[in-house]
Amino acid sequence: MVTEDDVRRIALGLPETAERPMYGTPAFYVKAKWFARIREEGDVLVVPVASEEHKRELIAAAPGSFFTLPHYDGHAAVLVRFTAVDVGELAELLTDAWRLRAPKRVLETFDG
C-alpha cells in the first residue's frame, strides 16, 4: 500500500515537476501539464494513460487496483487505489504519466 507521501516523493522526484492544487487536492505537473492528482477520497490517484484502450486493459487486468467513474468516460485517465499497488508499481505509473505530458526537451534530457 502506498501513501500520499509516496506519491509526492516519486512525483516530485521527476524532472521539472511541481505540486499545485487542482479541485482543492494535490496535483503534480510537469511544466504546465498535470500528470497526477490525488482525489478527494485521499487514497485514490488519477493518472493519464496512453489511450482509452489502455485504460480498459488496465481495469480488465487488475480491477482491484484500477477503476474509472462516469466523470472520466471519454478520457484517457485511470483511477488507482493506493491500497492495491506497491511503491514500485506507483513509480512506474507516475513515470509513464509524466512521460505522456512532459515536453520533448524535458524527455530528451531525462532519457540522456
| Residue 23 belongs to a domain | yes
Output the CA–CA distances (angstroms, integers) from residue 45 to 19, 36, 84, in the order listed.
14, 7, 11
| Residue 81 belongs to a domain | yes
CA distance 68 to 98: 20
* Residue 32 belongs to domain with CATH number: 3.90.1150.30
Listed residue (40, 43, 47, 36) closest to 59, CA to CA: 47
| Residue 111 belongs to a domain | no
| Residue 62 belongs to a domain | yes
| Residue 110 belongs to a domain | no
Predicted local distance difference test score (pLDDT) of residue 56? 97
Residue positions counted in the chain: 112
CA distance 76 to 56: 9
Q: Is the pLDDT of residue 112 over 90?
A: no
Residue ranges making up the domain that contains 8: 4-104
Confirm whether pTM is higher than 0.85.
Answer: yes
Mean pLDDT of 103-111: 94
Average pLDDT, the chain: 97
Q: Is the pLDDT of residue 52 over 90?
A: yes
CA distance 51 to 27: 21
| Residue 75 belongs to a domain | yes
Total structural domains within the chain: 1
